[in-house]
């Protein structure tokens, strides 16, 4: 009994120390790095939903396999003996993964900004941009537009239901998370009933099945890139198309069209669009050949939808922005045109050098 009390006291002391460490880190966090409450809550819901979606699929399929092999008791244990996988992965520090959080945070911010964009003052008989594109005679454009509509609808429905979320991660991030979840499920099963080769095989097969079914091409981001490529806007068409995408609240298509216009991949273009300062975004718009009026309209639309942006500072800088030539802007953006994995490696080296 005494040993139990001592061990409990030590655990409480460790928790108190961890809370203090967290409080200190939170207190000294720079204001510009702090998440607003809505973004924080939405990110937490999406992160939990993604983990729980993978967990549910692995548990269900592994339990079916165990039942088919006559191990009904272990199957029942797998389905009903839920440990908190999200909390376990969080305690292990795995959910602090930079690339995972970067992807989910970018998705959350895109969704929040898109929802706040002011719709264009279209006439009542005019359908939205995507609906019109889905009905054009060009079959490639129409199919790509329908795919984006479908992908956005699926993600929106998952968000509104507030439950499990599936298929929103790029392949590498999804692969990583599936095996983390599988390991957490197995750990709980070993703790409950000891090691069992049959359970292990079922969990592995269920994880592999989940990976085989994952298609990152069905993500709205991928669909937006395909649509931008299908439209293939000419240089003189890019400005009006970008403005129309914002008026239709299609931020992902805005990002994809901009990226194609200045030779950036989707992730690179999304990064600069979401930056509250906007400096690299204005360079990208100049590199795409946009004039003063088009840049001002885009800046105003984004500022209205993203409270982090300073529209007054933009107004003060507008003359200097327009004075930058398209060639100079493209040169300044050259590092962003590097391969995505090379950019990540360069960023990792830079972070290490700054420590």
pLDDT tens for 213-248 read: 999 989 999 999 999 999 999 999 999 999 999 999
**Cα separation, 277 vs 272, whole angstroms:** 9
Q: What is the pLDDT of residue 97?
A: 94
Contact 111, 249 (CB under 8 A): no
Q: Which residue has the tokens 């937490």?
A: 44
Whose tokens are 């009994």? That residue is 1
pLDDT cut 70: percent of the chain above it: 92
What does the pLDDT look like over 310-350, one tens digit per residue? 999 999 999 999 999 999 999 999 988 888 889 888 888 88
8 A C-beta contact, residue 326 and residue 239: no
Q: What does the pLDDT read at residue 124?
A: 46
pTM over 0.85: yes
Interval 250-291: pLDDT, tens: 999 999 999 999 999 999 999 999 999 999 999 999 999 999
pLDDT of residue 47: 94
Residue position matching structure tokens 């895109």 = 110
Q: In angstroms, rounded to a whole number, what is the distance separating the alpha carbons of residues 136 and 115?
A: 26
The predicted pLDDT at position 144 comes to 96
- In whole angstroms, give the CA distance from residue 251 to residue 302: 10
Say how far apart CA 157 and CA 160 lie, in whole Å.
5
Q: What percent of the chain has pLDDT over 90?
A: 66
Distance CA 235, CA 232 (A): 9
The CA-based diameter of the chain, rounded to the nearest angstrom, is: 80
Q: Report which of 265, 293, 295 is spatially closest to residue 279, judged by C-alpha positions.
A: 295
Integer Rg of the chain from CA = 24
C-alpha closest to that of 205 among 69, 52, 85: 69
Pairwise CA distance, residues 308 & 293, whole Å: 22
């Amino acid at each position: 009994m005494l040993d139990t009390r001592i061990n409990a006291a030590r655990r409480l002391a460790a928790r108190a120390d961890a809370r203090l460490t967290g409080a200190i880190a939170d207190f000294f966090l720079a204001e510009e790095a702090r998440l607003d409450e809505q973004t924080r809550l939405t990110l937490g819901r999406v992160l939990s939903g993604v983990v729980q979606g993978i967990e549910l699929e692995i548990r269900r399929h592994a339990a079916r396999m165990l039942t088919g092999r006559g191990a009904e008791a272990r199957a029942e244990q797998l389905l009903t003996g839920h440990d908190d996988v999200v909390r376990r992965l969080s305690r292990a520090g795995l959910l602090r993964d930079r690339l995972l959080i970067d992807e989910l945070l970018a998705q959350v911010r895109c969704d929040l900004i898109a929802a706040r964009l002011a719709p264009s003052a279209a006439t009542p008989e005019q359908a939205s941009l995507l609906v019109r594109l889905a009905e054009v005679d060009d079959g490639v454009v129409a199919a790509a537009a329908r795919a984006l509509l479908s992908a956005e609808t699926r993600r929106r429905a998952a968000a509104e239901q507030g439950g499990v979320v599936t298929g929103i991660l790029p392949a590498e991030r999804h692969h990583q998370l599936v095996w983390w979840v599988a390991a957490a499920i197995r750990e709980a099963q070993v703790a409950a009933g000891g090691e069992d080769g049959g359970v292990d095989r079922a969990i592995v097969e269920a994880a592999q099945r989940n990976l085989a079914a994952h298609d990152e091409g069905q993500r709205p981001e991928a669909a937006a890139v395909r649509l931008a490529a299908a439209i293939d806007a000419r240089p003189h068409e890019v400005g009006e198309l970008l403005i129309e995408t914002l008026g239709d609240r299609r931020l992902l298509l805005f990002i994809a069209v901009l990226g194609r216009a200045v030779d950036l991949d989707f992730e690179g273009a999304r990064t600069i669009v979401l930056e509250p300062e906007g400096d690299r975004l204005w360079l990208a718009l100049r590199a795409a050949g946009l004039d003063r009026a088009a840049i001002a309209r885009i800046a105003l639309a984004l500022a209205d939808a993203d409270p982090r942006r300073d529209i007054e500072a933009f107004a003060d800088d507008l003359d200097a922005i327009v004075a930058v030539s398209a060639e100079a802007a493209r040169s300044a953006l050259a590092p962003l045109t590097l391969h995505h994995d090379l950019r990540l490696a360069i960023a990792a080296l830079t972070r290490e050098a700054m420590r």
